[in-house]
Amino acid sequence: MINKLLIANRGEIACRIARSAREMGIATLAIASAADEEALHVRSCDEVVHLGGHNPAESYLRRDAIIAAALEHGADAVHPGYGFLSEDPEFAQAVQEAGLLWVGPPAEAIRAMGLKDAAKALMQKVGVPIVPGYHGEAQSLQVLQQAATEIGYPVLIKAVAGGGGKGMRRVDRPEEFAAHLASAQSEAQGAFGNARVLIEKFIANPRHIEIQIFGDGQTAVHLYERDCSLQRRHQKVIEEAPAPHMPHAVRNEMGQAAVRAAEAIGYVSAGTVEFIVDGSASLREDSFYFMEMNTRLQVEHPVTEEILGIDLVAWQLQVAAGGVLPLTQDQIQAQGHSIEARLYAEDSDQGFLPSIGQLHHLKFGPGLRVEAGVTQGGQVTPYYDPMIAKLIATGPDRASALQRLLRGLQLTQIAGLKTNRDFLVALLQHQDFVAGRFDTGLIARDMEALTRAPAPAAEDWARAALCAMGLLDTGRDRQCNVGFTLFTPLRQSVALRHKDQLQTLQVSLRPGGRAVVDVAGETVELGLGDLPQRAAVLAAGKAYLFGAQTFVFDVIDPLERTATVHSDGAITAPMPGLVKQVFVHAGQEVAAGDPIVVLEAMKMQHTLCADHAGRVENLSATQDQQVEAGMALAVIQAEREEAG
């Protein structure tokens, strides 16, 4: 029996583990870094130990401090979640030596699967098919290159200590081998402190299909498969169970191979055996190969729980406390279909860089199982993985699960940060994905189309203008047809910027709650009480329109605009900040209202505009420049002075 569980992790997985523990009557102890003092996972647990620090090395990776906290607070078990210390055999061992239960596999099992080369050798021995390739000791360029030639191009160079797609390079031609090898080795050395690599045949049209397994040290069972082929740079984006078009016989073969792998290492707890499958033809019993085993709970475990109706974390806790497997292989029956999408704070316009900041507004769509580590008002910090939530939809079949996930995502609203929501929405509508005919190359092949962002239509500009005036904010907990008050001027001009397009819109309010908006000469009439086609949210100086596509407009405050322009035409920085964009060059003629510079301060962007027409002179602002408050960035020399 476990009485109190220390959860050695953060974010959504810590919240997820706390939920199962609570349902089982187990008390929970959180750990938190300084950056996470008020995080959701802390609030989801009964007690917390503050470790201080921000980076993982100063917090979630402090093995001794975590074990000491467990002992001091009377915890009797430790669950590592995924990532961080979950696959660290020394930590697993130290936990047990301290007299605590380890909710995971034995240190020996983690070690056996820790390095991909040793794992492949072991799997070969117990008759699990492995990807043809070289996983020997010798690491000279000559040996590796020779191996690649024998395997036949294209090949994959993989760091033996790799994870998360790091230290991996595909090589298509022999003449590129040496350069790719050097870069894979240096990335592996940097990320894992181990430069060793193996060489594998690159499987054509690869599908990533993995088997969830579970062991109690005596026997192991398999819990069906997950298809995780939708990947960006070898990182999973969408996962589903079961795999589309999976023949029964192939599932059985793969499941049995995975069970052999688990039993070969006396596996305890949840684990995943990852296979790469040749997807160039239909799935066959001889076309799957062992890739690696992850000796922990996996990010995408919820889709398995959904189709089997089981709680994998509860199983982990029962087995860690000495229990046997709750079900036999025959009793494990799947029903329906489940799909998960990983919602990240990232900027798809800028190579999916993490987007850091506050979640001013966060509302998930209906019909979803949401596994989140943050709530509205929370922060995404630069210290950890920028995942906002995992969204999971389940239905009696794939089409209905897909429809539910798509609708749920389309009705998900996030303001304050850039997210991959629109990318996920596009991905779920990709015709090959919809048909269930896809491989790991789908995203890279169609990246352009998947990230293409249409420009807002006149109606979107009009809606954004009303939202900027506070007349259409559907995000607040009030009726959206607020109409307008006595204090709302009947005519108003609103300046908005979308990407580098700036427009000043004229809004006229009419009786009966109607608004007429002039958008660059085009007239759009809207009813404030109309059911919005697009939800609108005003947050932190931006107007957000949500729908199939998210549009974000900077609302340019007219007061701020004039405050920063002096009588001599100088535009000065109203606050210290970073120059994000310079719209003009020296000598350029500008009109009143034209944007000159975007300044970022306190994580908000401010557009500084010309308040009169003229020529740009003394332009000192340059992109990415840090500027002080009051610093002159440019001077707009009025036309008439020049004429005179």
Q: For Mg ion, which is the closer residue by CB, 385 or 560?
A: 385
d(CA 295, CA 201): 24
Find residue 335's DSSP bridge partners.
none
Q: For ligand ADP, which is the closer residue by CB, 11 or 378?
A: 11
Q: Of ligand ADP, Mg ion, none, which one does residue 231 interact with (CB within 5 to 8 Å by kind)?
A: ligand ADP
Q: Of ligand ADP, Mg ion, none, which one does residue 13 interact with (CB within 5 to 8 Å by kind)?
A: ligand ADP
Q: For Mg ion, which is the closer residue by CB, 294 or 338?
A: 294
Q: For Mg ion, which is the closer residue by CB, 274 or 611?
A: 274
Terminal C-alpha separation, the chain: 90
Question: Under a CB-based contact definition with an 8 Å cutoff, are residues 160 and 142 in contact?
Answer: no
Q: Of ligand ADP, Mg ion, none, which one does residue 391 interact with (CB within 5 to 8 Å by kind)?
A: none
- Spatial CA neighbour of 103 closest among 32, 172, 212, 9: 9
Q: Of ligand ADP, Mg ion, none, which one does residue 398 interact with (CB within 5 to 8 Å by kind)?
A: none
- Spatial CA neighbour of 4 closest among 37, 48, 38, 56: 48
Q: Of ligand ADP, Mg ion, none, which one does residue 203 interact with (CB within 5 to 8 Å by kind)?
A: ligand ADP
Residue of 10, 296, 421, 534 with catalytic role: 296
Q: For ligand ADP, which is the closer residue by CB, 120 or 498?
A: 120
CB of 206 to ligand ADP, least distance (A): 4
For residue 330, the 8-state DSSP code is G
Q: What is the DSSP pairing of strand 77-79 with strand 101-102?
A: parallel
d(CA 544, CA 541): 10
Nearest-Å Rg of the Cα atoms of the chain is 28
Residue 572 neighbours by CB under 8 Å, 6+ apart: 564, 566, 630, 631, 632, 633
Q: Does residue 296 have an active-site annotation?
A: yes
d(CA 156, CA 201): 6
CA 323, chain centre distance (Å):
35
CB of 274 to Mg ion, least distance (A): 5
d(CA 40, CA 15): 7
Question: Under a CB-based contact definition with an 8 Å cutoff, are residues 155 and 176 in contact?
Answer: no
CB of 493 to Mg ion, least distance (A): 54
CB of 292 to Mg ion, least distance (A): 5
CB of 324 to ligand ADP, least distance (A): 26
CB of 262 to Mg ion, least distance (A): 16
Interface residue list for ligand ADP (CB under 6 A): 9-11, 13, 81-84, 131, 156, 158, 162-165, 200-203, 206, 208, 231, 234, 236, 274, 276, 291-292, 294, 298-299, 385, 387, 440
Q: Is 25 left (phi over 0), alpha (psi -120 to 50) or beta?
A: left
For residue 176, the 8-state DSSP code is G
Contact set for Mg ion, span 250-309 (CB under 5 A) = 274
Which residue has its beta carbon closest to ligand ADP?
Answer: 83
Q: Of Mg ion, ligand ADP, none, which one does residue 595 interact with (CB within 5 to 8 Å by kind)?
A: none
Q: For ligand ADP, which is the closer residue by CB, 87 or 460?
A: 87
Total residues interacting with Mg ion, rule: CB under 5 A: 1
Q: Which residues of the chain form contacts with Mg ion (CB under 5 A)?
A: 274
Q: Which residues have a catalytic role annotated? A: 296
